[in-house]
Amino acid sequence: MNRPDRNLQPVNLPSEWHPGSWRSRPALQMPVYPDADALAEVQEELRGLPPLVTSWEILALKQQLAEAQEGKRFLLQGGDCAETFAECTSDIISNRLKVLLQMSLVLVHGMKLPVVRVGRFAGQYAKPRSADMETRGEVSLPSYRGDIVNRPEFTAQARVPDPRRMVKAYARSAMTMNFVRSLIDGGFADLHHPEYWGLGWVKQSPLAGDYQKMVAGIGDAVRFMETLVGTQIHDLKRVDFYTSHEALLLPYEEAQTRQVPRQWGWFNLSTHFPWVGMRTAALDGAHAEYFRGIRNPIAVKVGPSVTPDQLLRLIDLLNPDDEPGRLGLIHRMGAAQVADKLPALLDAVKREGRRVLWICDAMHGNTESTSNGYKTRRFDNIRSEIEQSFDIHAAAGTRLGGVHLELTGEDVTECTGGARDLTEVDLERAYRSTVDPRLNYEQALETAMLIVRKHAQ
Ligand code: PEP
Ligand code: MN
C-alpha cells in the first residue's frame, strides 16, 4: 500500500521471519545440490550484486494492483512457461513485448480501463515438475527443473543441479530487463507510433482487419486530443511494464531479499510480482513461509483441490492486515472444472470480506497430451475458461481483475485451434516449448479480443 505512513511503519511485522526462515519448513520442488559450499558461495555472490528492480517500482505496482482490485484497472500478465538461456535474444524479447503491448492496447481500447502490464519474464527460469526423476527405457535421471537449475538434455551430467546457473539466470534476467527498459524508455511503446510494435504477421492474419481498425481509431483519438490541448501528450510515449516469475527456487529468492533505506521490512528485488505455484502453495510449506515476509505484491496459484477453508487460512497468513494490492489469487481450474470449483471459493472470500485480486490462468487446467505425444491446449478450452470465469464472478458478485497467460511473440504451433484452427498435425511444424504449450502471437491477440467481447456483455 502506498500511504506514506504505512510505508515507513509496519502495522504488523511478520513475527519470527527472516529471509531464510523457510528453511525450517518442508521445501517442495527443490533440487538437491551436490556441493553445499558451492551453493553458499553463489548465494553470497548474488547478495552482493545490484538488484534488478527497486522498492519504489514494487510499491507503485502494488498501488496499481489495489486499483485493479477495485475494478479501476485490468491486469494482463503473460509470457513463456519457462524462459531459457538460449532464448535470451533480441528478437524473442522484443516480439514478446510487442505481443503484450498489442494485447494491452486491445484491452485498454475495448474495456476502457487502464491495463497493468506484467511480463512473465526476466527471471522465469525455475520449473516445478510432477516427478523428481525422469525415466527413459532403462535409464532414470533427475528431472529438468528449468535453466536456473540444470540442463534439459537427457544425460547424467546435464541433469546435475549446478548452483552457478543461478548467477547465469540472474545475468540473463538483468539483460532482459535492460533491453525491455531501454525499448520502453526509448519510445517503443509510443502510442503515436503503434507501427514500432506491429508484428509483420498481423497483415496476413484473419484478425488483421479488426486490429488495424482499432489502431487507426486510436491514432485519430490521439491526434484529436493533441489538437485540442495544442501539444504532444508525453504520457502517451511510454508505459509501465512490470515483471513477475514463480519464486520457486528459494535459495535464489532468499539471496535477492533485501532491506532498503527508508523502508521497513524486506523486498524481493529480483522481480516486482512473484507468485507461488500450485504445487508449492501448502499452508505449512517453505514457500508460504518465505512469501509471508516480503513486502512485494504476491500471487498464489489456486487449483481445483483447494478448499474454501484452506484458501481463507492462506489469505490470513499471506495478507493478515488485508492490505490493498498485496495478494492476487490466480485460479487455474480448467474449463471442465471451473464452474464446479470456483464459486465456493469466491463466496468464502467475499463472505469474509477479504481483499484479493482475482486472476484467471486459463492455461494450466487445460493441458492435455495428443495421440502423437505433444503436450497441448485447445484454444476453445482456454476461451471457455475465461468466459466462464467472467460469468461466475458476475454471479458471485466478485470481480475478475486480470488474466495470466502463457504466450510468445513467435509463430509457434503449440496450442490447437484459434483463428487459423491449428490441428494436432500442425503441432509438428513449430513446437518449440521445452515445458508447457504457449499461445502463439495470433492466438494471444485473439484472446485479448475475446476478453474485450466478454467484458462488454
Ligand atoms: C506455471 O505457471 O508454469 C505453473 C507451473 O503453473 P501452476 O503452478 O499453476 O501449475
Ligand atoms: Mn506452465
Q: What is the DSSP string of 32-52?
A: --S-HHHHHHHHHHHHHSPPS
Cα–Cα dist 102/98, whole Å:
6
Smallest CA separation from ligand 1 atom 10, residue: 278
**Could you tell me if the CB of 30 is within 6 A of ligand 1?**
no
Binding residues for phosphoenolpyruvate: 120, 301, 332
Atom of ligand 1 nearest to the CA of 361: 9
Closest ligand to the CA of 275: 1
Percent of the chain with pLDDT over 70: 94
Smallest CA separation from ligand 1 atom 3, residue: 81
Band of pLDDT at residue 147, cut at 50, 70 and 90: very high
Band of pLDDT at residue 38, cut at 50, 70 and 90: very high
Show the CA angle centred on residue 303, arms to residues 441 and 286, nearest 5°: 105
Reported as a single tens digit per residue, the pLDDT across 354-391 is: 999 999 999 999 999 998 889 999 999 999 999 999 99
Cα–Cα dist 280/278, whole Å:
6
Residue 242 grid cell: 512490470
Query: Which of 9-13, 88-92, 213-217, 294-298 has the weakest average pLDDT?
Result: 9-13
- Please report which residue ranges of 144-229 form alpha helices under DSSP H: 156-159, 164-185, 208-229
**Could you tell me if the CB of 301 is within 6 A of ligand 1?**
yes
What ipTM was predicted for this assembly? 0.99
pLDDT of residue 348: 98
Closest ligand to the CA of 437: 2
Binding residues for Mn(2+): 81, 364, 406, 436
Cα–Cα dist 220/226, whole Å:
10
**Could you tell me if the CB of 278 is within 6 A of ligand 1?**
yes
Band of pLDDT at residue 3, cut at 50, 70 and 90: very low
Cα–Cα dist 24/30, whole Å:
14
Closest ligand to the CA of 331: 1
Band of pLDDT at residue 6, cut at 50, 70 and 90: very low
Higher per-residue confidence, 56 vs 240: 56
379 phi, psi to nearest 5 deg: -55, -40
Cα–Cα dist 327/257, whole Å:
18
Highest mean pLDDT among 2-6, 202-206, 211-215: 211-215
Whether the pLDDT of residue 56 is over 60: the answer is: yes
β-bridge pairing 133-136 and 115-119: unpaired
Whether the pLDDT of residue 265 is over 60: the answer is: yes
Region of 373 (left: φ > 0; alpha: ψ -120 to 50; beta: rest) is left
If you compute the radius of gyration of the chain from its CA atoms, what whole number of angstroms results?
21
Residue 100 grid cell: 503484450
H-helix or E-strand spanning residue 139: strand 139-142
Band of pLDDT at residue 235, cut at 50, 70 and 90: low
